[in-house]
Amino acid sequence: MDRHYDFQQIKLALKASCKFDDDKTIVINDDSINALKHIPDESISLLLTDPPYHSTKKENIINDKSFETDDEFILWMECYAMEWKRVLRPNGTGFMFCSSTMEAKLETMLSKYFNVLSHIVWTKPNEPGFDGWKGKMKKEALRQWYPQSERIIFFEPAMDGNLRRSYFGSFLKEKRSECGISGHELTERIGAYGTVNHGGAVSNWESGRNIPSKEQYMKICTVLHSINDAIVMPEYENIIRPFEVNANVTYTDVWDFPSVRPYKGKHPAEKPLDMLEHCINSTTYEGDIVLDCFAGSGSTLMAALRTNRLSIGIEIDPQWCISIEERIKAFKSLPSESQSSKHIMKACQGRKLMPTLFDLAAS
């Protein structure tokens, strides 16, 4: 799993527009559709990004008011989708934030290139004691239900050849066929019998219904190599899309992470760090590469640092690039034991840090 090599290749490819880089982070100041074209194929493990919503029409978000019609906006986003499909690893994952108004059209467009796995509703609750805009608005003036929530479209690369367009399903069928072994025989030899009959496991994997465990995958490799020792079987982490949730973390498609409270210098579309960390922890391995095409205040990059991932942030506004660089440098100057804990606030006392650093203490 040589992600550091891929990271160095990306760094070289984006050198011309690089604003800041170090051993774990790259900050690019450019129009992201231009920068994307330079990123090598299949080098990104996770796309975690928050494009302009178009429907919100905010003056302080670049491109939020750039499109006359919804169709123009969707065509613009489709240019990104085509690049995302190219740069994402076959076992990669994507999260795209969007408004409830545009979600349906965006999901339809993305479905041409990806398997849309979930349509997540982020309820955006306010923290206790913080009234916010929801409490001040005039409810009697509404002519429809107020769009309190935002949407997150969760997707993976799609392949032809099986029921759910699963990359691993197509890969397994291809390798098994190369070895001249039936699905039933492979199931028998690895002992992965279904609960109802003896032929279900491999069939389910190849149709894309589910995936083998790491132990099962190693058994598959052993059997196929015993038939053809020249066959190439990647590491588990390079072939299986990770998805790690449990009863102790958010595991449904309704998310209740509190929104970021206003503060001086806050980005108008800033997302909470704990929600971004949840996205990263649940869908990547440590050391994987995370890409944010609309980096804003750099929260995705901060979340990647705190979860021991590599990251690339592309931001068109040079002032936000400066803010991201200062934020990363301030964070990395803290003692390692303080970088991902409630002790951050104490460690920051007396220091002239970017205000955005202090939201780390709440997550």
Q: What is the pLDDT of residue 356?
A: 39
Higher pLDDT, 319 or 62: 319
Of 73-82, 135-144, 284-293, the one with minimum mean pLDDT is 135-144
Q: Is the pLDDT of residue 350 over 70?
A: no
Determine the pLDDT at residue 16. Answer: 96
Residue 261's pLDDT band, with cuts at 50, 70 and 90, is: confident
**3-state secondary structure at position 96:** strand
Cα–Cα distance, 199 to 189 (Å, whole number): 11
CA distances from 101 to 144, 260, 306 (A): 12, 21, 32
- Strands 88-99 and 289-292 come out as unpaired
What's the mean pLDDT in 287-304?
96
Q: What is the pLDDT of residue 334?
A: 83
- pLDDT: which is higher, 65 or 175: 175
- More reliable by pLDDT, 85 or 267: 85
User: What one-character-per-residue DSSP string does 25-87 give?
Assistant: EEEEES-HHHHHTTSPTT-EEEEEE----SSS--TTSTTTT--SSHHHHHHHHHHHHHHHHHH
pLDDT bucket at 267, cuts 50 / 70 / 90: confident
As given in the structure block, the two tokens for residue 355 are: 């205000």
Neighbours of 194 (CB within 10 A): 13
How would DSSP label each residue in 292-328?
ESS-TTSHHHHHHHHTT-EEEEEES-HHHHHHHHHHH
Residue 118 confidence (pLDDT): 96
119-168 pLDDT tens trace: 999 999 887 766 665 666 788 888 888 888 999 999 999 998 888 899 99
The predicted structure's pLDDT at residue 349: 33
